[in-house]
Structure 1
Amino acid sequence: MTASGTRDALVQAGVDLLEETGSTEIGLREIARRAGVSHGAPRRWFPTHKALLGAIAEVGLRDLARTLTEAGDTDATADIAGWARAYIEFAGTRPAMFTLIFRHDLLEGSGAGLRSVSKPLFDRLLNRVRATHPVPDPLTTATALWVGVHGIAVLSTTGALTLAAPGVDIDALIQRVVRDALG
């Protein structure tokens, strides 16, 4: 296996393990076993466990970015609602990855450069708000949108939303968050 092949195999094994177990508590030995390499191999490519988790989270962020890009619509408000639906759907279909992406306590200091992937996601939302909705403070508006949508994603993924508000219409909730944020 080539050097980049070993690195890629370790990252993919970590992604697979994360998705299968649903836990961010994935160990280096199990990742190495899944990748078919020695238990010491991860340390050759990733100086710390955080570095490997960062590489796994980067895969998730890139997948989320692709998902959000594919969710675009022609009407600006529909585009934002489509973005929200795609964000929530990603969280629902890949809850462990979604959790890892936002576990700054696990990823801080990973050296993965995750901000270079995550910041453009928020910037696209901010630019969409700036371009399509004349609001006095687009940064706060875009942040309120993200916070509201992220809250729906977390609450629905953990089952808390169903417990607190059984039968709530997620699409109506998304529309409300978008409408309230955009004014």
Structure 2
Amino acid sequence: MIDNVYMAEDLGTRARLVQAGVELLEHGGVAAVGLRAITRAAGVSHGAPRRYFPTHRALLAAIAEAGFADLRAELGPALSGSTEPTRARLLEMARLYVAFARRRPDMFTLIFRHDLLEGAGEDLRDKTVPVVDALAKLVGGQAESQRALGLWASVHGIAMLTSTRALDLFDADVDALIVAAVDSVGE
């Protein structure tokens, strides 16, 4: 019985650390997500993260995984077996992707910092593949993976430029850019 209580406590503390990291990231960017700040926000000792995360990068990877789960949940309806035409689903997916990046720019950036997070324990690269595979199915199947990657690269670029507000310099019509990216793969 004691082991079950201990495990429940472990899951609670780990989840609190991750949630504190998510909140710090959302309000202050990656620079705000230090170990001391996270432990303070989670209300745990400064040594507590070491019980759950061997390194700061491992904690950052867990924070990124939480954000990636949110992104997958938002994209879910667009990637599901809906009866809408493929182009409509691609547009919905692209708009949701860009909206996520606009709304949560620091999380969006962290999710795709594979250079920073690689080997940190959450295997974020492996979690990106199913999203691109689902996109390939919408574009036309596995044989169309290059077209799907091209579309993802275009939409990701629009999302990144939107999240950093770089497109503000050009008074760009973001939706028109999304439509052009989707139309570039054809049906």
| TM-score normalised by L of structure 1 | 0.90
For structure 1, list consecutive stretches of 5 or more residues without a partner in the other structure: none
CA–CA distance in structure 1, aligned partners of residues 158 and 31 of structure 2? 21
- The answer as to whether partners of 1:24 and 1:100 remain within 8 angstroms in 2 is no
| 1:107 matches 2:114 | no
- For structure 2, list consecutive stretches of 5 or more residues without a partner in the other structure: 1-7
CA RMSD of aligned residues (A): 1.8
Aligned residue identity for 2:77: E
1:84 maps to 2:94 = yes
2:157 maps to 1:147: no
SS of alignment partner, residue 182 of structure 1: coil
Secondary structure at 1:83's aligned position in 2? Answer: helix
Contact 1:24 1:96 in 2 (8 A): no
- Divergent runs of 4+, >6 A: none
- 1:2-13 correspondence to structure 2 within 5 Å: 2-13=9-20
Is the Cα–Cα contact under 8 Å of residues 18 and 96 in structure 1 kept in the other structure? yes
Cα distance in 2 between the residues matched to 1:155 and 1:115: 21
SS at match of 1:2: helix
Q: Which residue of 2 aligns with 1:56?
A: 63
Residues 133 and 145, structure 2, Cα contact 8 Å, conserved in 1: no
Is 2:64–2:111's contact at 8 Å kept on the other side of the alignment?
yes
Deviation by residue 1:21-79 (Cα, 9 ceiling, x = unmatched): 12355111110111100000001110011110111110111100011113456111010
Match of 1:161 in 2: 167
Q: Compute the displacement of 1:108 (Å).
A: 1.1
- Determine the C-alpha separation between the residues in 1 that align with 2:30 and 2:111: 12
Could you tell me how far apart the structure 2 residues matched to 1:25 and 1:105 are? 19
Deviation at 1:180, TM superposition (A): 1.3
Question: With structure 2 as the length reference, what TM-score do the two structures score?
Answer: 0.88
Q: 2: distance between equivalents of 1:117 and 1:64?
A: 11
* Deviation, structure 1 residue 169: 1.7
Q: 1:24 to 1:181 in 2, by over 3 A?
A: farther
Give the fraction of aligned pairs with identical amino acids, expressed as a percent.
51
Question: What is the aligned residue count?
Answer: 177
How far apart are the structure 2 equivalents of 1:31 and 1:7? 11
